[in-house]
Structure 1
């Protein structure tokens, strides 16, 4: 063989060796991944088999403290802490008086009321024990330390009780999020919405949609695999299924078109106070917040950045935003503040446009583009205008210039407080109007839900546009099912197989 042949032969051998090495490396990596996966699953299984405990009531001194225990050895904890060797059964859902002792030192810890909630009818779906003890830090610390000595018992991780409830299908992911919202609710509206979400109605709606999608997917899969062999998989029935998909998509779109009411209730409605310098914006913020949240000064341009104050307004969560005075300026820092003020106004759910009642004529040109349908106009310093007819004339003038109804134009005085109560009422009505239809339990409360539902609608549209390209159509439907599953926290491929084998006569 000549030198050229030897060269190419050697290159071929090197290439083959590299290819084999690449295959071996990939096999090794895959084996390592599987070992890690098995180890992770094994660890998770051991963690799930642990019995967990934690204080369920707030930290600190109280009349009663509740310590919750969940897991396969929950009842063992009662026997271990009450000197019972016969391990008699604990009556379910009946309060029992028990003296608690440390399992090792035998020290008397406290006298407690013990409740047993057997699986699966408990919060977590596991055996659950609740110790109701005296709420002093010393008693609670002693009982927790005693529980830690019981075999296979450990302190719970944050949220682990709810995680176990989710894993045992006692609640879906949306209900888990609703529970978190309920625990952090600060207003009546947030509490009501969280409870409605926790009831599971929106989850039931999504589960119905998911079942419909799974049915469509199963039919599409059947068309691919068995369309030529089975009489019950026909073009006519497939066409009907496409119409069902269109109707389902229509319901989803209607559900999305909610004005983000649920998210507004949960996150707070943003109210921006905008206007020229020295109009009294910071004074109004302090009046509404009932505290000196913003610096008030007669020097124009005092407020440079946005001051945000969370507020409970008529039972609704509101975020008040005091902004820099809007005007032309050469000051670079103030320019940034003016830009941020305009951006805040654009992003706000409600705008309060505030002007000086005496100077509004000269200030109007700069602010003439600042009002929208969500704007409330406030004329401050009404105490400096003595004539009542002048005040009414001012109100009519503003109404005619802006086409904003008279009830959305308010004359106030931050100095003596006149007109502020009426303004608060008007703000409350505007906030309520923003979320007026949110009595429906099926509103979307998180951006995560909205994004997955939008993806689901888009995949459905791709299926509707090309329903007869079977493999692609099935993939689009599969992703739509996955989108709903990700909202609920449940994605199961086996559901598709169940529908195929239960609803069709394939293999008869």
Structure 2
């Protein structure tokens, strides 16, 4: 198979990748020879009819130590549209060669054991990363951070399983540990591993990083919510009006602050005296958004702030009430004074949001798990938990079965078992040529 693996032309250079058993023959057909392995070589490319195509750098990577685990060739062409089209047309005429499907190069790498499923998911996220936090998180997955952790857990499980099997099958041997001591050792080992898996599950989910943290601007009508989201977005996103109830629905915009993806939402003013049916629907949606928010920017009275673990209390519209003793006394109970209209306090608000957002992200060196990975890890943890005094605690056969089931759950994270139903969905996320 072959495909353009670089960006769409025109560009300075275009990279066409060929993978499979006939990759060497395809390279020889166009370049006239097979260059030394893993060494860039200048060659004049020609079609089967002898027509010149391009003068390019060609590279030859014999398998299996390649990106796909197969023989692999790369053509580094001049990046014009006509050049790329001519080379692709020439490749398509070669026998046994076809255009690659979306994600097929990465899928072959997975099937040939060059990467596991967690690394493939990380690569998909890396290609889609738009912010620094997304890049760092995806790079950790793609470079095998999670896979190495799973391998370590599997090694510990194998040790525990070996102990259980030794007792079950060789208890009559003199050098085999027997009796309750084996069960106690297994339960202690299973409990320690379950606690470690629980620590990983307590980390933020990868979807939070990929989709962006939800930051909801909330408060009563005419509190300055729409003016604030317009100032944050630096464009007229929401209608600003002195008429109460102007904002009827949740207005959302994606933003990145200090490399952290976020979704800011302007909501309807919260009040209970509206007789407008449409406005009441908007208020219900605003309440739902507040409940689901990761961070709340509250522009109302401090005593009315919703019960939320991460709320920033803002004394908004400072340009209007400065000098009013009562208003200034109320503002002193907030986290900051702000005027979105004049820009006062916007830098401090930026810092407060970023500081709070960082508490929701993995610490440096940690990796977050995707929903699929979290489900498998949670299942493994549940199999490893044994209630003290239960019948299972003294039954080696049941303990051995729990260890086997926990190992199977961990296998699903890296793709060693039970993943056929998700492969098409995963690799369909990749572009052609990747």
With the length of structure 2 as denominator, give the TM-score of the two structures.
Answer: 0.88
1:197 aligned to 2:141?
yes
Equivalent residue, structure 1, for 2:52: 108
When residues 212 and 463 of structure 1 are mapped into structure 2, their CA distance, relative to the original with a 3 A threshold, is farther
**In proportion to residue count, which structure has more helix?**
1
Q: 1:330 Cα shift?
A: 2.4
Distance 2:286 2:293 in 1: 10
Structure 2 unmatched runs, 5+? 419-434
Q: 1:176 Cα shift?
A: 0.9
Equivalent residue, structure 1, for 2:128: 184
Equivalent residue, structure 2, for 1:446: 370
Q: 1:379 Cα shift?
A: 2.0
Query: Looking at both structures, which has the greater relative contact order when contacts are Cα pairs under 8 Å and sequence separation is at least 6?
Result: 2
Q: 1:166 Cα shift?
A: 1.4
Contact 2:10 2:80 in 1 (8 A): yes
Distance 1:386 1:294 in 2: 25
Q: 1:480 Cα shift?
A: 0.6
Distance 1:221 1:237 in 2: 10
What does 1:126-205 align with in structure 2 at a 5 Å threshold? 126-205=70-149
Q: Secondary structure at the match of 1:345?
A: helix
Contact 2:205 2:371 in 1 (8 A): no
Q: 1:349 Cα shift?
A: 0.9
Q: Secondary structure at the match of 2:193?
A: helix
Distance 1:92 1:263 in 2: 41
| Cα deviation digits, residues 436-467 of structure 1 (max 9, x gap) | x52123x2231111111111111111587514
Per mean C-alpha deviation after superposition, the further-off stretch among 384-393 and 421-430 is: 384-393
Contact 1:266 1:445 in 2 (8 A): no
Q: Secondary structure at the match of 1:422?
A: helix
When residues 267 and 159 of structure 1 are mapped into structure 2, their CA distance, relative to the original with a 3 A threshold, is same
Distance 2:81 2:194 in 1: 55
Equivalent residue, structure 1, for 2:422: none
Equivalent residue, structure 2, for 1:30: none
- Which of the pair has more CA radius of gyration? 1
| Cα deviation digits, residues 473-502 of structure 1 (max 9, x gap) | 33322211111000111139xxxxxxxxxx
Match of 1:97 among 19, 27, 42: 42
Q: Secondary structure at the match of 1:111?
A: strand
Equivalent residue, structure 2, for 1:377: 313
1:265 aligned to 2:213?
no
Q: 1:389 Cα shift?
A: 6.3
Equivalent residue, structure 1, for 2:252: 308
Contact 1:262 1:438 in 2 (8 A): no
Equivalent residue, structure 1, for 2:429: none
Structure 1 unmatched runs, 5+? 1-51, 400-405, 493-508
Q: 1:270 Cα shift?
A: 0.8
What does 1:195-274 align with in structure 2 at a 5 Å threshold? 195-228=139-172, 231-232=175-176, 234-235=178-179, 236-258=181-203, 260=204, 262-274=206-218
Distance 2:145 2:170 in 1: 37
Q: Secondary structure at the match of 2:373?
A: helix
Q: 1:238 Cα shift?
A: 4.6
Q: Secondary structure at the match of 1:387?
A: coil
Equivalent residue, structure 1, for 2:9: 60
Q: Secondary structure at the match of 1:114?
A: strand
1:472 aligned to 2:398?
yes
When residues 467 and 76 of structure 1 are mapped into structure 2, their CA distance, relative to the original with a 3 A threshold, is farther
Q: 1:261 Cα shift?
A: 5.8
Contact 2:321 2:328 in 1 (8 A): no
Distance 1:388 1:100 in 2: 79
Q: 1:209 Cα shift?
A: 0.6
RMSD: 2.3
Q: 1:273 Cα shift?
A: 0.5
1:75 aligned to 2:19?
no
Q: Secondary structure at the match of 2:385?
A: helix
Equivalent residue, structure 2, for 1:280: 224
Count of aligned pairs between the two proteins: 414
Contact 1:219 1:238 in 2 (8 A): no
Distance 2:354 2:37 in 1: 48
Distance 2:183 2:89 in 1: 63
Equivalent residue, structure 2, for 1:403: none
With the length of structure 1 as denominator, give the TM-score of the two structures.
Answer: 0.76
Q: 1:108 Cα shift?
A: 1.4
Distance 1:110 1:200 in 2: 38
When residues 386 and 174 of structure 1 are mapped into structure 2, their CA distance, relative to the original with a 3 A threshold, is same
Distance 2:211 2:316 in 1: 30
| Cα deviation digits, residues 183-231 of structure 1 (max 9, x gap) | 1111112112222222213211111111222332344344444445675
